[in-house]
Amino acid sequence: MGRWIVIPLMTFVAAAIQVALLAMLPVFGAHAGLVLLLVVAVAIFVGPEWAAVAGFMGGLMLDILGVLPLGLTALSFTLVGFVVGEVVQRMDRTPDFGFQLALVVGASVVGELIVLGLVLTLGQGMRGVTPITIVVTAVYNCLLAAIFLRPLGRVLATRGRGAM
């Protein structure tokens, strides 16, 4: 199976699991971001353009299943995926695991801040998101990454072949 099938499929499944399962496990009001984790994994193991595509699709699916204006999370995840992919591509080799986790934390914080900025711009207030929520989300995503990032990387490296 090529990337054209594997990455969209994984993105849809990640979004559905985030909505159906991880949504039931908030920690101090913070929700885990499996879709964002997948976007970062694609950025690290595949490349920035595919990360942007995965970010757009995954973000759009979360927007459709939520109440935020369509395209808001998609915009945030597209940017985050692309930037993380660019950072990784400027390195000569695949970053070590510690740096990968740091990328997940950074992507979580930046992703949440972009959505928050857009939500504030559209006059919808903070929607209950506080600095603590953003920090807890980043830590939560980091823990998820410690478990799932390597398996995701293996799948993407072996199944996600083929050029865009």
* Sole binder of other proteins in the list 37, 44, 61, 138 (CB under 8 A): 61
Using rule CB under 8 A, residue 33 touches other proteins: yes
Measured in degrees and rounded to the nearest 5, phi and psi for residue 153 equal: -60, -40
Quick one: which of 110, 101, 102 has its CA closest to 78? 110
Using rule CB under 8 A, residue 115 touches other proteins: yes
How many residues sit in the footprint of other proteins (CB under 8 A)?
Answer: 59
Using rule CB under 8 A, residue 78 touches other proteins: yes
Cβ-in-10-Å burial (0-12, 13-18, 19+) of 147 comes to exposed
Find the farthest-apart pair of alpha carbons in the chain and give their distance in angstroms, rounded: 44
Provide the residue type at 76 as one letter: S
Task: Assign 3-state DSSP to the chain and report helix, strand, coil percentages, each to 5.
Answer: 75, 0, 25
Comparison of 41 and 53: residue with beta carbon closer to other proteins: 53
As a whole number of angstroms, the distance between CA 163 and CA 28 comes to: 41
Using rule CB under 8 A, residue 144 touches other proteins: no
Comparison of 41 and 136: residue with beta carbon closer to other proteins: 136
User: Torsion angle of alpha carbons 38, 114, 138, 130, nearest 10°?
Assistant: -140
Region 117-136 residues binding other proteins, contact defined as CB under 8 A? 118-119, 122, 124-129, 133-134
Using rule CB under 8 A, residue 75 touches other proteins: yes
Using rule CB under 8 A, residue 48 touches other proteins: yes
Instruction: Give the residues lining the site for other proteins (CB under 8 A).
Output: 12-13, 15-25, 29-31, 33, 48-49, 52-53, 55-56, 59-75, 78-79, 82, 112, 115-116, 118-119, 122, 124-129, 133-134, 137, 164
